[in-house]
Amino acid sequence: MSQARKEIKVGFFVLICLSLLGLLLLQFGKGTSLFRPTYTILLKSGNAGGLKTRSTVLMAGVGVGTISRIQLNPDGKGVTIYLKIYKQYEIHKDARIVIEQSGFLGDPFVAIYPGDNKAPRFENMDETSVEEPFNLQEVARSAAGFIKRIDQTADKLNGAINDVRKLVLNEQTLTNLSVTVASFRKVSENALSTVQNLNQLITSNGVPASYAISNLVLFSENLNQLATNANGIISTNGPQIAAAVNNLQMSTATLTNLLGDVAAGKGLVGGLLKDPQLAGNFSLLSSNLAITSSNLNRLGLWGILWQHKPPKSKLPPKELEDSRHNPVK
């Protein structure tokens, strides 16, 4: 065998081994098998979360495909993740697709959680959204800000406690509080004594109180009986009561008409009240009665009834006669 033929055989053997090795790597690695048909699903996300191409896509813990490409959007505000899913696995559009991580610090991967499988199935080059991965650094930054706010709150609370100690829990306030507690204790003791006295009063006057209550009950029964009797009387004498009320109304109307006639000067009484001569006579009578009562008070009854002699005058007879005929006004 020549040297050239040996080299050809060795090279052919090495080529076959390398091909088999490549096929084994593709079969048992994370890559897609060359002999299995696939379809592509496009995932839209704001952050790839450290995903790498050829990472496994898992559904219920089973690999159903790989990540073929991760492309940044033209505006730089998101990414498009290309999934190559084996055609033997049907994924419905109501499934939830998320980016998860293996362990606490493991590699990220795409996980698919099936829904009710009532929506249509994904076809080749269909698009859907994916939930962004858990960002530990963002959580740490949020926790740092939260801890800072807690520290600020603790400082404010500490200042408030110090203010309370200075303004509220000082010596004067504690003294007033002690006096208040003592006063409250005294008030409670007085209240307890009052309750005891009241209890003793009720105990000692239990019999009179029961008598009073029984009398009150009897009075209420009598009152109910009286009301029943009154109701019966009213029911029995209803027509008579109605007639009496009617007569009273008629009498009131008649009296009103009579007073109206008197005010208008009609009838005897109205004529007497409207007569001016009668009014003058009545005025003169009142004046005479006033003079008579004045003389009665001044002279007495006998002095009014007895006629006095005129007093003797010292004037001459002629002047006296003139004075009688011409009295001085």
Give percent of the chain with pLDDT exceeding 90: 3
**What is the per-residue pLDDT across 118-136, written as a single tens digit (0 to 9) for each?**
889 999 988 888 877 766 6
* SS3 at position 83: strand
Confidence at residue 137, expressed as pLDDT on a 0 to 100 scale: 65
Q: Which two tokens stand for residue 202?
A: 């009720």
Query: Where is pLDDT greater, at 278 or 249?
Result: 249
Per-residue pLDDT at 315 exceeds 70: no
Confidence tier at 82 by pLDDT (50, 70, 90): very high
Whether the CA torsion 270, 273, 276, 278 is positive or negative: it is positive
Confidence at residue 84, expressed as pLDDT on a 0 to 100 scale: 92
Per-residue pLDDT at 64 exceeds 70: yes
* Gap between the Cα atoms of 254 and 271, Å rounded: 19
**What is the per-residue pLDDT across 177-233, written as a single tens digit (0 to 9) for each?**
888 898 988 999 899 989 888 888 888 877 777 888 888 888 888 888 888 888 888
Confidence tier at 306 by pLDDT (50, 70, 90): low
Confidence tier at 328 by pLDDT (50, 70, 90): very low
Average pLDDT score over the chain: 79
Per-residue pLDDT at 319 exceeds 90: no
What is the average pLDDT across 108-114?
88
Contact of 89 with 36, CB cutoff 8 Å: no
Per-residue pLDDT at 55 exceeds 50: yes
**Of the given ranges (154-158, 222-226, 296-300), which has the lowest mean pLDDT?**
296-300
Give percent of the chain with pLDDT exceeding 70: 80
CA–chain centroid gap for 167, Å, is: 35
DSSP state of 290: H
Burial string for 306-325 (b: 16+ CB within 10 Å, else e) reads eeeeeeeeeeeeeeeeeeee
The one-letter amino acid at 212 = A
Confidence at residue 22, expressed as pLDDT on a 0 to 100 scale: 75
Q: Half-sphere exposure of residue 75, counting CA atoms within 13 Å on the CB side?
A: 3
